[in-house]
């Protein structure tokens, strides 16, 4: 049975995998686009079991407890026009996470992570969306000088959270589907954007997109973020 280990560097909440990065790992294992459903926190630094399903999907287990599953999927999403790099840089100055952040050590958006360690993607308000600049460092590159697909998937994760709400209320990533047309180069000035698609009760559907230095979209994702129930809340019947 194949196994998967998420290194501690690639955390979201402390001790748990970043959802977008995990989705990228599962997509690599599946050999194509997948929708990843996160059922429980996925621990870092632990050997996890990967099981293939009859439908061509994957399931991720810790012992006999299922943590996540992935099903083959094709994503239809039209990204908005990209802001230029300087506009994204200006938007990042309004990053909510500089004032308060539930997980300041997050690999993708944590302000406590140093350059060359975290991605440091700080998506701030830019009109009806959020935007951030990103220059991927050499530690994310593969032999061809391009960024690994799992890191592009990770980069598409957290901007969606900041697009969903502007008040910093903690939420959980429930579902993530990414499509990568082409991989960007290490040290290439890129831009990320996130925008809200819909809201239904405690569920927020968002889109995110990654643009290359020419302003062309090269990857995008759709995600579902869920606000946990307040302690003691009674489920609707």
How does pLDDT run across 123-175, given as a tens digit for each residue?
A: 999 989 999 999 999 999 999 999 999 999 999 999 999 999 988 888 999 99
Rounded Cα distance, 226 and 221, in Å: 16
Question: What is the residue whose two structure tokens read 């996540």?
Answer: 68
Q: State residue 231's pLDDT score.
A: 53
Residue 232 confidence class, pLDDT cut points 50, 70, 90: very low
Q: Around 136, how many Cα atoms within 13 Å sit in the side-chain half-sphere?
A: 29
| pLDDT band for position 113 (cuts 50, 70, 90) | very high
Is 90 exceeded by the pLDDT of residue 50?
yes
- Mean pLDDT (whole number) for 81-104: 95
**CA 7, CA 5: separation in Å to the nearest integer?**
6
Q: Strands 3-4 and 172-180, how do they pair? A: unpaired
List alpha helices for 46-199, DSSP H: 85-92, 149-155, 158-164
Average pLDDT, the chain: 94
Share of the chain above pLDDT 70, in %: 96
Phi-psi region of 22 (alpha: psi -120 to 50; beta: other; left: phi over 0): alpha
Query: What domains, with CATH codes, occur in the chain?
Result: 3-72 (3.10.129.10), 85-226 (3.10.129.10)
What does the pLDDT read at residue 166? 87
């Amino acid at each position: 049975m194949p196994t998967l280990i998420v290194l501690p560097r690639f955390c979201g909440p402390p001790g748990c995998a970043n959802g977008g990065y995990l989705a990228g790992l599962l997509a690599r294992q599946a050999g194509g686009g997948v929708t990843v459903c996160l059922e429980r926190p996925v621990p870092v630094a632990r050997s996890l079991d990967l099981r293939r399903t009859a439908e061509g999907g994957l399931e991720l287990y810790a012992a006999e407890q299922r943590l996540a599953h992935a099903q083959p999927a094709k994503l239809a999403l039209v990204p908005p026009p990209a802001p230029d790099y300087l506009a994204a840089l200006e938007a990042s100055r309004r990053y909510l996470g500089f004032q308060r952040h539930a997980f300041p050590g997050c690999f993708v958006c944590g302000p406590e992570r140093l350059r060359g360690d975290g991605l440091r993607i700080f998506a701030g308000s830019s009109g009806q969306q959020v935007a951030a600049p990103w220059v991927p460092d050499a530690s994310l590159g593969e032999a061809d000088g391009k960024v690994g697909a799992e890191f592009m998937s990770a980069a598409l994760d957290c901007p969606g959270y900041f697009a969903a709400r502007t008040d910093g209320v903690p939420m959980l990533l429930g579902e993530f589907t990414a499509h990568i047309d082409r991989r960007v180069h290490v040290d290439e000035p890129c831009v990320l954007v996130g925008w809200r698609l819909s809201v239904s009760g405690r569920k927020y559907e968002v889109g995110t997109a990654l643009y290359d230095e020419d302003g062309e979209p090269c990857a995008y994702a759709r995600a579902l973020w869920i606000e946990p129930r307040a302690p003691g809340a009674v489920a609707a019947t």
